[in-house]
Structure 1
Amino acid sequence: MKFRAIINAFALALSVAMPLASAVGATLQSSDERPPIYTLDSGDKIRVVVYGEQSLNGEYSVGPAGDVAFPLIGNLPAKGKSVAELQQAITAKLATGYILDPRVSVEVLSFRPFYILGEVNRPGQYPYATDLSVDQAVATAGGYTYRASKSKIFIRHLGEREVEYKLGKGKVVWVRPGDSIRVGERYF
């Protein structure tokens, strides 16, 4: 009987705590925006594994035209595709008369770099990592200089114009591969 009362009390406490925990979790999230899904472009290096077909396994580069030259099936467009989409495209092409029930795995070996300049300690080119935020990019470049503006940042996504982003507590700004990040100078 006493055991049953303890279980009921625990269940009641849990039913009260769960909505509270999810409400607190919702307020602690820094941004509703998710990190961008990585899409392939020229300069990326990938590894393709076709299970049971050792001669097709290897490392491939996305060429200047955005294609991957793959044995048997030729050039496949990769520019703008996610890794999963490219994996599906290779699987579909191999299944059309080349391999019975192909199982393909694709992974990115090296990403296109991002660039950071302005008021950081070590401006330059750095390797991109998935789910990279501006704060992490600045840390990679040795942090802000004493003159840096920490309230805004300027980002030029590949092929687009430079855009100003406001920085603040709990706000996350995501970096994409190939981005140029400029940290401006503060005024007093």
Structure 2
Amino acid sequence: MSFNRGLFVVSLISMVIGCFFQPGISRGEAQETMEDYKIGAGDVFKIDVWKEPELSLEASVVRIDGKITFPLLDDLQASGLTTMDLKAVIEKRLSDFVEAPQVTVTLISPGSQRYYILGEVNETGEYPIGKKLTILQAFAIAKGFTEWASKKEIILFRRENGQERIIRVNYKDITKGDFSNNVFIQADDTIIVP
């Protein structure tokens, strides 16, 4: 194996390891983020009410107004809640009709969890976030860069607390081992590769 090829393999292994071990983000924080999944418009849930099949729903879609329609209960606000919060709301409201209801809420499709990538990548578009995803992994999903991509001037637009935030990303720094630019993707992020 030539020296350059060996250096490439070492760099590639470092990038992969960096995807899983982000500086400044502990495993506990990553797990907490997954457990605190907030329901949004477009999410699809299976809702089971134990021993009440006529009240169970195979696929309940969160509408654009953030609500779902549930038998006997009409519209329920779901957006902004966790699955455990929604379970508690349904159980409380159903207790007027069913003795000690036991509800299970299962996320089938995280339709609200999407990001967008535009510009000089091979496959621009909207992509689902099915797991914890870094910007490096997002580039891989978009099939990499075109030959004209400006890899030092990538911009990530993010909305946080009602404010637009711009995060500048230098892909070349990531490939050199500086994983501080390899940020986690959040719902509704827009990545632009000039």
Same fold (TM over 0.5): yes
Q: Which residue of 1 aligns with 2:125?
A: 124
Structure 1 residues 52, 166: closer, same or farther in 2, change over 3 A? same
TM-score by length of 2: 0.69
| 2:188 matched residue in structure 1 | 178
Offset, 1:66: 0.7
**Percent identical:** 29
Amino acid at match of 1:161: E
Instruction: Decide which moves more: 127-136 or 32-41.
Output: 32-41
Equivalent AA in structure 1 for residue 121 of structure 2: V
Equivalence for 2:156: 154
2:126 partner SS: strand
- Write the deviation string for residues 78-122 of structure 1: whole angstroms up to 9, x where unpaired: 111122221222122222x22222221112222233211122110
Moved more, 77-86 or 162-171: 162-171
Specify the SS of the correspondent of 1:157. strand
Shift of 1:60: 0.7
Could you state the TM-score of these two structures normalised by the residue count of structure 1? Answer: 0.71
How far 1:148 moved relative to its partner?
3.6
Letter in 2 for 1:173: V
Contact persistence 2:40–2:62 (CA under 8 A) = yes
1:32 equivalent to 2:34? Answer no
Q: Secondary structure at the match of 2:179?
A: coil
Paired with 2:115 and 2:124, the residues of 1 have a C-alpha distance of 11
Distance 1:152 1:66, change over 3 A: same
Aligned length: 156
Superposed structure 1 runs of 4+ greater than 6 Å apart: none
SS of equivalent residue, structure 2 residue 192: strand
Give secondary structure in 2 for the equivalent of 1:139.
helix
Structure 1 residues 62 and 150: alpha-carbon distance in aligned structure 2, compared to 1, 3 A threshold? same
Over aligned residue pairs, what C-alpha RMSD do you find? 2.4
Equivalence for 2:17: none
Helix, strand or coil: the match of 1:161?
A: strand
Structure 1 gap ranges (5+)? 1-27
Q: In the aligned structure 2, how far is the partner of 1:80 from the partner of 1:165?
A: 28
Task: Answer whether contact 2:154 2:191 (CA < 8 A) is retained.
Answer: no
The reply on whether 1:108 has 2:107 as its aligned counterpart is yes
Q: Which has the larger radius of gyration?
A: 1
Q: Which amino acid aligns with 1:93?
A: R
What is the CA distance between 1:123 and its match in structure 2? 0.4
Q: 1:145 to 1:160 in 2, by over 3 A?
A: farther
Task: Work out whether residues 155 and 180 of structure 1, in 8 Å CA contact, stay in contact via their aligned partners in 2.
Answer: yes
From the superposition, tell whether residues 150 and 57 of structure 1 become closer, same or farther in structure 2 (CA, over 3 Å). farther
Aligned counterparts of 1:150 and 1:104: Cα–Cα separation in 2: 50
2:167 aligned with 1:164, yes or no?
A: yes
Please tell me whether the aligned partners of residues 66 and 79 of structure 1 are also in contact (alpha carbons under 8 angstroms): yes
